[in-house]
Amino acid sequence: MENFVLSDIIPANVSIEKVSTTIPEHPDIHLSILRLDKIHPVVSGNKLFKLKYYLQAASETDHRTLLTFGGTYSNHLAATAYTTKITGLRLIACVRGEEGNRPSHTLEFCRANSAEIHFLDRALYRKMSENPDEDYLTERFGPHITVASGGLGIPGAIGAQEILNFIPEDCYSHICVPVGSATTLAGLLLGNRKEKILAFPALKGLNDTSDRIAQMKVVDTDNLTVFHDYHFGGFAKWNMELIYFLNRFYRVNRIPLDFVYTGKMVFAITDLITKGYFPAGSEILAIHTGGLQGNETLPKNLIAY
């Protein structure tokens, strides 16, 4: 059961690419990108790693069912639907809010991958996704294994730790990662590597990062720095400065970024380089956690890729 699932869906596509930051004043600072976005066109990035041990656990039960939570545009739901489908598991997807007139492309993708979608009103959703009441969920949906929103939890973090297998040791001074639930961040910290870890929350006021990672058994945070000022006004908020940045970055490097997580992280790294944050000779590695399906929620033609 070693390499369960991931060996099939994470082929040799993952690569590390050097990019141009187009900051001529700092030619001695280098940025590379770990292209987890290349794993799969829709279900890319960190999600598959976070799901690995939940999928494995469900595959060892009789019910072979996962239950998870997400919003209508959730990358996590899309990834869970896809991976449960290809591993022959059943997925109960609890979605926040009500079914609109037109289902989002994310929910259509989930349905196409056989997910059973149930809408929970906001209050119930909040209660269940933050602190699942297993008795209630089992009574309503039958036996299952619950995956908290974003894969948050120890199995999620242990899976995410395996992202480090793609990052050679002693090559980089800094590893950068965007943050939602902080599960991926926790996984990187569990690896106890020497590189400095720079974290970029995509949410405004994500003040409980340290509680979250402690919950996932992270003890050592000496090499962690969290940057709280690059969310562009909040989760999935954007402005034209960010859009221009994404388009310019794509024009120069041919690497697509998403506007919710990776775009804001790379924008932040560029800004920090410009401001002299990184010492000369820094070798920065940014993890492209995928999420490109999220760009479909932007108005048409804003993004040039």
Ligand X SMILES: *Cc1c(COP(=O)(O)O)cnc(C)c1O
Cα–Cα distance for residue pair 5/40, rounded to 1 Å: 13
Residue in 182, 197, 284, 286 binding ligand X, rule: CB under 6 A: 182
The secondary structure of residue 84, as a DSSP letter, is H
Q: Is 179 in the site for ligand X (CB under 6 A)?
A: yes
| DSSP-H helix ranges across 32-121 | 46-59, 75-86, 105-112
Q: How far is the CB of 294 from ligand X (least distance, A)?
A: 7
Is there binding between residue 71 and ligand X (CB under 6 A)? no
Q: What are phi and psi of 138, to 5 degrees?
A: -70, -40
Considering the complex, what minimum distance in angstroms separates the CB of residue 148 from ligand X?
Answer: 10
Minimum Å gap between C-beta 80 and ligand X is 11
We find the least distance from the C-beta atom of residue 139 to ligand X, in angstroms, to be 28
Residue facing ligand X at closest CB distance: 291
- Bridge partner residues of 225 (DSSP): 198
Q: How far apart are CA 160 and CA 188, in angstroms?
A: 7
- Closest to ligand X by CB, 83 or 181: 181
By the rule CB under 6 A, 289 interacts with ligand X: yes
Does position 104 interact with ligand X (CB under 6 A)? The reply is no
Closest to ligand X by CB, 45 or 132: 45
Query: Which span (131-139, 162-170, 180-188, 245-253) binds ligand X, by CB under 6 A?
Result: 180-188
Of 29 and 176, the one with the shorter C-beta distance to ligand X is 176
Of 29 and 50, CB closest to ligand X: 50
What's 42's DSSP letter? S
Q: Does 183 bind ligand X (CB under 6 A)?
A: yes
Q: Report the distance separating Cα 123 and Cα 96, nearest Å.
A: 9
Q: What are phi and psi of 265, to 5 degrees?
A: -65, -50
CB 278 within 8 A of CB 174: yes
Position among 132, 153, 191, 291 found at the interface with ligand X (CB under 6 A): 291
Nearest to 232 by CA among 221, 220, 241: 241
Q: Give strand pairing partners of 95.
A: 70, 119
Query: Does the protein bind ligand X through residue 150 (CB under 6 A)?
Result: yes
Question: Which of positions 223-282 make contact with ligand X (CB under 6 A)?
Answer: 258, 261-262
Q: How far is the CB of 7 from ligand X (least distance, A)?
A: 21
Question: Which of 71, 153, 256, 290 forms a contact with ligand X (CB under 6 A)?
Answer: 290
Rule CB under 6 A: is residue 84 a binding residue for ligand X? no
Question: What SS3 class is residue 292?
Answer: helix
Indicate the residue among 176 and 272 with the shorter CB distance to ligand X.
Answer: 176
41 burial level (CB within 10 Å; 0-12, 13-18, 19+): exposed
Give the β-pairing of 174-179 and 196-201.
parallel
CB of 191 to ligand X, least distance (A): 14
For residues 303 and 250, give the distance between their C-alpha atoms in angstroms, rounded to a whole number. Answer: 10
Residues 20-59 contacting ligand X, CB under 6 A: 45-46
> What is the C-alpha radius of gyration for the chain, rounded to an integer number of angstroms?
19
Contacts with ligand X by CB under 6 A lie at 45-46, 75-76, 150, 178-185, 258, 261-262, 289-291
